[in-house]
Structure 1
Amino acid sequence: MFVLDAHGHPLDPCHPARARRLLAAGRAVVARHTPFVIRLKDRSAADSTVAGVQVGIDPGSKHTGLAVFTGHEGSRAGRYVIQLDHRGALIRDRLTSRAAYRRGRRWRNLRYRSPRFLNRTTPKGWLAPSLRHRVDTTVSWVARLTRWAPVAAVHVEKVSFDTHALSAGRPLEGAEYQQGTLAGYEVREYLLAKWGRTCVYCGASDVPLNLDHIHPRSRGGSDRVSNLTLACIPCNQTKSAAPVQEFLKDKPALLTKILKQAKAPLRDAAAVNATRWVLWRALEATGLSVHTASGGRTKWNRSRTGAPKSHTLDALHVGELETVTAWPSTVLVVTATGRGAYARTTPDRYGFPRLLRSRIKLRHGFQTGDLVRANVPAGKKAGVHTGRVLVRSSGSFDITTRHGRVTGINHRHVRHLQRADGYGYTTQKEADRND
């Protein structure tokens, strides 16, 4: 648990059992519900020895892993892990929809609009809103962690995949082709992400996968990543040196899908690579000591420590380390939900206003997105429900819990736990160590 002193300055995190004892003894109060933060009444940072913690970041297109850990001399112990779920895809889709509405209104000649000249330029360093969102939310959570814990350094993957180096066509030979060196891990991890960690020919998963040349090398095929895919051992042996067109002559739909996907770049890798420098510069601007590493290095670290694949464990294994002694069993999943829409109307299928939205967000002291607990004494909804609330002017609220949505909760049974901050919170189990 995160701990603050009497003046709100961060101290070293403590075990949940110790936090419960401090609260029960009256020595501490709850400063924040999620993530759980306590504030000591009788302790000052000036009178305490603070060892400090470090933060690992595994940036992703859809999810970003954050890990708070302690350690020295290459050994790490995870203290708190967070999976940050972005909403970049939703932002992209809504901007595309808005552009389609505007384009349709112009071309239907429903109103006169003077021509626009092609003199609009984007400022230097501009990022698309969906990409900027990923950077801003990641930096925002690093700033939050520095308020709750004495963060001394940040370790971040500066690049998940070096797509320029991967496309250079450097031959994979010897041990690198068979089991992978650190450089080989870059290629393998890229292909695993691109092809969904399954055999492209039979769809088998959770089995050993080999690198397979779509166009065989014996017939002039190259070692470029666009010519590589994943195949299980039986399919790889059956295909052998046959061209993929001959091997899949009875499955034309699968053949078309493989050839199309082979030429397409990995969209998630492109999004991460587009924001890597911006994220690094933003972290440097915080004044923290920032260390960078590659995604191949992270996977190599996980293979040595026996840790399974997850966003949070990747964050724990970023950079140089020798071993990881422990990690939390529970992951806090933080989903970016936003703070509401700017639009005051809801459009119809043609983009015209369909109805007006209320400008009043606060209903009976609550607003949509607040973290609440409802204690319903009787009826079909009897019980305790904890989650994000959706408010209505009628006073009948909906609460989204980890088990689903509970509808029709009267506002009189609802109590605040935490005001809306643009994120939704749930928990899930962390992966167990590999045997």
Structure 2
Amino acid sequence: MSNVFVVDTLKHPLTPVHPGRARRLLTAGKAAVYRTAPFTIILTREVEHPAPAPLRLKIDPGAHTTGLALVDDAGGEVVWAAELTHRGAAIKKALDTRRNVRRGRRSRKTRYRAPRFANRRRRAGWLPPSLVSRVENILTWVARISGIAHVTTLSQELVRFDLQKLEHPDISGVEYQQGTLFGYEVREYCLEKWGRACAYCGATGIPLQLEHILARARGGSQRVSNLTLACEACNLAKGTQDIRDFLAHDPVRLERILRQAKTPLKAAAAVNVTRWELFERLKATGLPVETGSGGLTKYHRITRALPKTHWLDAAVVGASTSQRLRTGDVVPLLVHATGRGHRRLCNVNVLGFPVSHRKRRKRYFGYQTGDLVRAVVPERFACRGTHVGRVAVKASGYFTITTAHSKVTDVPHRFCRLIGRSTGYTYQVGTRHAAPSPSRP
């Protein structure tokens, strides 16, 4: 499995060690557990002249998941790896909900809140909160790993997505400058593209409607790559269904539509917008930053016979990748960003009316929502047993614990023992991939 991080009693990072050696240090009382994720031990003594091995932290930014890999360039060993799943979609959904509630209040005149879109300015380089969270998550983990390992260099895949090239790979010259819809309106473009026929039943000579292949309710965009033509009957019958469910009875037509349509490019746009912001923030750490292209990453992965995963993509980012990369013993840490709660004090229903109010306190009886606890409840209680999971605190002192398999309610706080404080992330252990065949010299 992945190596274990080690720090001395002054919290100076040392060279990561094999899990077997870390276990012996813990058993002998020469070390204690300092952090559970990523697993780190702290020695009971100070190392006078530490000489930790220099390590390179490699980053493969993604719209939904970012790969992280800590590599020893001297030996080509991947010391540690992780896959960081962002919460940009959750942030976007929360902001949409808040916007809809405020709009509803203004239309009902129950409370006037002046719209702000016309009386505020955004600074140059402004990014929406959903994209800022991706950058901040990566920077948070760069700082965490740098505090427990001797990181001397950073590597980032500085991808540039050309969105128009993704829509039309063969476009060039004047056509490239004119754009996708030059000389067309959206409707006329779709009529030409789909042959003036319903994409779902093939009907012609009848009024046709613009239809979203991936429904707006499911996150579909307004791009022409997500638009098709449908008659009124098919449009109503499909509704917000997934196209694969709607055309499950006709796989030939489904394959043709998916082949003809272009996939939405939200993920590409997210990476494209944040790449330079992340690069500048990484440079501000003072560490040298190496950059590499997506094509180089793919070349390194294929020549080393590695499967397509986020952390393995991170391990082969940049020209510094060793010819013989040792990855067979690595078990990646799966990190999911969950946030640290919210500042909303008034909870509302679906119509925007207040239903309850939260208190300003976040911690009760020494626990905060999101803390990892272990509760051993006696037999006389309905929630008897041993439960390990994330806790949701209540002022009454009867908590709710979400375990890996279920949710346990009304657990008295006096039976809870703290395992780890809430950090805004949850953790799981990934799976080891099959060791690749030896690389060619």
Name the structure 2 match of 1:316: 315
Counterparts of residues 170-185 of structure 1 (less than 5 Å): 170=170
Name the structure 2 match of 1:267: 266
Secondary structure of residue in 2 paired with 1:324: coil
Residues 88 and 36 of structure 1, relative CA distance in 2, 3 Å threshold: same
**Residue pair 1:375, 1:385 contacting (<8 A) in 2 also:** yes
Name the structure 2 match of 1:91: 91
Equivalent pairs counted in the alignment come to 355
**Residue pair 1:12, 1:53 contacting (<8 A) in 2 also:** no
Secondary structure of residue in 1 paired with 2:368: coil
**Residue pair 1:56, 1:155 contacting (<8 A) in 2 also:** yes
In structure 2, distance between residues paired with 1:361 and 1:430:
38
**Residue pair 1:402, 1:426 contacting (<8 A) in 2 also:** no
Counterparts of residues 249-398 of structure 1 (less than 5 Å): 255-259=256-260, 261-262=261-262, 264-320=263-319, 321=321, 322-376=323-377, 378=379, 384-398=386-400
In structure 2, distance between residues paired with 1:406 and 1:117:
44
**Residue pair 1:161, 1:294 contacting (<8 A) in 2 also:** no
In structure 1, distance between residues paired with 2:376 and 2:254:
54
Secondary structure of residue in 2 paired with 1:101: helix
Name the structure 1 match of 2:120: 120
Question: Tell me, which stretches of 5 or more residues in structure 2 are unaligned?
Answer: 173-224, 226-249
Q: What's the TM-score once normalised by structure 1's chain length?
A: 0.74
Task: Report the CA distance between 1:409 and its aligned residue.
Answer: 3.4
In structure 1, distance between residues paired with 2:37 and 2:107:
49
Secondary structure of residue in 2 paired with 1:323: coil
The answer to whether the aligner puts 1:17 opposite 2:20 as a matched pair is yes
In structure 1, distance between residues paired with 2:266 and 2:272:
10
Secondary structure of residue in 2 paired with 1:307: coil
Cα distance per residue 1:202-225 (max 9 Å; x no partner): xxxxxxxxxxxxxxxxxxxxxxxx
Name the structure 2 match of 1:231: none
In structure 2, distance between residues paired with 1:383 and 1:17:
32
Name the structure 1 match of 2:8: 5
Residues 397 and 71 of structure 1, relative CA distance in 2, 3 Å threshold: same
Task: Report the CA distance between 1:420 and its aligned residue.
Answer: 1.2
Residues 4 and 434 of structure 1, relative CA distance in 2, 3 Å threshold: closer
Residues 329 and 124 of structure 1, relative CA distance in 2, 3 Å threshold: same
Task: Report the CA distance between 1:19 and its aligned residue.
Answer: 1.1
Name the structure 1 match of 2:156: 156
Residues 116 and 47 of structure 1, relative CA distance in 2, 3 Å threshold: closer
Residues 17 and 153 of structure 1, relative CA distance in 2, 3 Å threshold: same
Residues 127 and 114 of structure 1, relative CA distance in 2, 3 Å threshold: closer
In structure 2, distance between residues paired with 1:398 and 1:160:
45
**Residue pair 2:336, 2:427 contacting (<8 A) in 1 also:** yes
Cα distance per residue 1:58-92 (max 9 Å; x no partner): 111111111112132xx521111111111100101
Q: What's the TM-score once normalised by structure 2's chain length?
A: 0.73
Residues 428 and 377 of structure 1, relative CA distance in 2, 3 Å threshold: farther
**Residue pair 2:56, 2:72 contacting (<8 A) in 1 also:** yes
Name the structure 2 match of 1:29: 32
* Aligned pair partner of 1:416 in 388, 407, 418: 418
* Aligned pair partner of 2:433 in 409, 431, 434: 431
In structure 2, distance between residues paired with 1:66 and 1:250:
38
Name the structure 2 match of 1:402: 404
**Residue pair 1:388, 1:424 contacting (<8 A) in 2 also:** no
Name the structure 1 match of 2:106: 106
**Residue pair 2:79, 2:330 contacting (<8 A) in 1 also:** no
**Residue pair 2:328, 2:433 contacting (<8 A) in 1 also:** no
What root-mean-square deviation, in Å, do the aligned CA atoms of Structure 1 and Structure 2 show? 2.7
In structure 2, distance between residues paired with 1:92 and 1:253:
30
Secondary structure of residue in 2 paired with 1:399: strand
Structure (1 or 2) with the greater strand fraction: 1
Task: Report the CA distance between 1:254 and its aligned residue.
Answer: 5.3
Name the structure 2 match of 1:135: 135
Residues 250 and 300 of structure 1, relative CA distance in 2, 3 Å threshold: closer
In structure 2, distance between residues paired with 1:64 and 1:276:
12
Secondary structure of residue in 2 paired with 1:47: coil
In structure 2, distance between residues paired with 1:142 and 1:319:
17
Name the structure 2 match of 1:222: none
Percent identity between the two aligned chains: 43
